[in-house]
Amino acid sequence: MVVLTVPGFVTWSAVYADRHQWLVSGRAVLGVVLGVSLLYLLVIAIHHLWKTNRLNYFELYVDPVLDRFKLPAAELEDRLDMNRTALRRVNALTPVSLREQRGMYREELAEVIENYQAESRKYRRVHNGLQSLIMVGSTTITTVAALDAKEWTWQTIMVIALGFCVTLASTFTGYYKYRERSYFLQQTADAIEEEANAIALGVGEYGVFGEDEQDQALAKFTQRVESLRNEQRRRQQQLDQPAEHAPVQGSSGV
């Protein structure tokens, strides 16, 4: 509805430019439709965030932020220095084996990965928003440029409105590559399902493992599934890059 309202505003303004009453009435109706559509999109976005537990950010971080602003900056810096000094003293007095250090390093990697993923999602949202604005703006400019018609008929209005929608849809489809993403995701899902069925039924490459060799079978299963997931991540990265720099490969790599 939001996409259809934009050419509706343009065509209505062009057709009834010399009729003020009709112009105002049409704009009012289209404005109401646009407002309801935007409100509907906002409700869907909030519902999605609620379902994916993204709104837990407010529950987890509001109280610490409020406590931070209750204290002066000098006191916060003093507390931070004291905590760092205590941590260094504990680390110096506590012997840690190489195995424990590697274990702690492995546990710390989870936070590093989460930070990288959060930064990646943030920049991707900004980029997709700006790119969508560019595509909608360029399509709107092309549509407005086509309004220089001598005679306005319903055929002309329909051609302009449908041209706007088709151009916008083709632009989004070509940039975001929905078909390719769906194909590769389904391909990876089928490959993982095939591996799961093979290890559950003891067929294929898992048929050589006996009842007392389930650990080896699970290790092989984990290795193959991780290989499939890594291949899917590489495909996703290739799809996010410009086509001239990263052509998409169709092989599964396993």
The phi and psi torsions of 250 (rounded to 5 degrees) equal -100, -5
Inside any domain, residue 209: yes
Three-class SS of residue 225?
helix
Residue 168 makes CB contacts below 8 A (sequence gap 6+) with: 3, 135, 136, 139
Domain range for 140: 109-172
Please count the other Cβ atoms lying within 10 Å of the Cβ belonging to residue 13.
Answer: 14
Inside any domain, residue 99: no
Q: Are residues 190 and 245 in the same domain?
A: yes
Inside any domain, residue 183: yes
State the Cα–Cα distance between residues 199 and 202, nearest whole angstrom: 5
Q: Are residues 251 and 222 in the same domain?
A: yes
Q: Are residues 219 and 241 in the same domain?
A: yes
Name the helix (H) or strand (E) containing 97.
none
Inside any domain, residue 254: yes
Q: Name which of 110, 171, 177, 119 is nearest 140 in CA terms.
A: 171
- Taking 3-state DSSP, the helix, strand and coil percentages for the chain, each rounded to the nearest 5, stand at 85, 0, 15
Inside any domain, residue 2: no
pLDDT band at 71 (very low <50, low <70, confident <90, very high): low
Q: Are residues 183 and 253 in the same domain?
A: yes
Q: Looking at residue 227, what is its pLDDT? A: 92
Which class for 84: exposed (0-12), middle (13-18), buried (19 or more C-beta within 10 A)? exposed
Residue where a domain terminates, one of 172, 203, 221: 172
Instruction: Tell me the pLDDT of the chain averaged across its residues.
Output: 74
Q: Are residues 191 and 168 in the same domain?
A: no
In the chain, how many domains are there? 2
Three-class SS of residue 170?
helix
Q: Are residues 162 and 205 in the same domain?
A: no
pTM to 2 decimal places: 0.53
User: First and final CA of the chain: distance in angstroms?
Assistant: 44
Inside any domain, residue 49: no
Inside any domain, residue 3: no
Inside any domain, residue 133: yes
Q: Tell whether the model's pLDDT for residue 231 goes beyond 90.
A: yes
Q: Alpha helices, DSSP H only, in 52-146?
A: 56-70, 73-93, 98-145
Residue where a domain terminates, one of 130, 157, 172: 172
Cα dihedral sign, 199-204-205-206: positive
Predicted confidence (pLDDT) per residue in 118-169, tens digit: 888 888 888 888 888 888 888 887 777 766 655 677 777 777 788 888 888 8
Residue where a domain terminates, one of 122, 149, 172: 172
Predicted confidence (pLDDT) per residue in 191-219, tens digit: 999 989 988 888 888 888 888 888 888 88
Q: Tell whether the model's pLDDT for residue 73 goes beyond 70.
A: yes
Q: Are residues 148 and 123 in the same domain?
A: yes
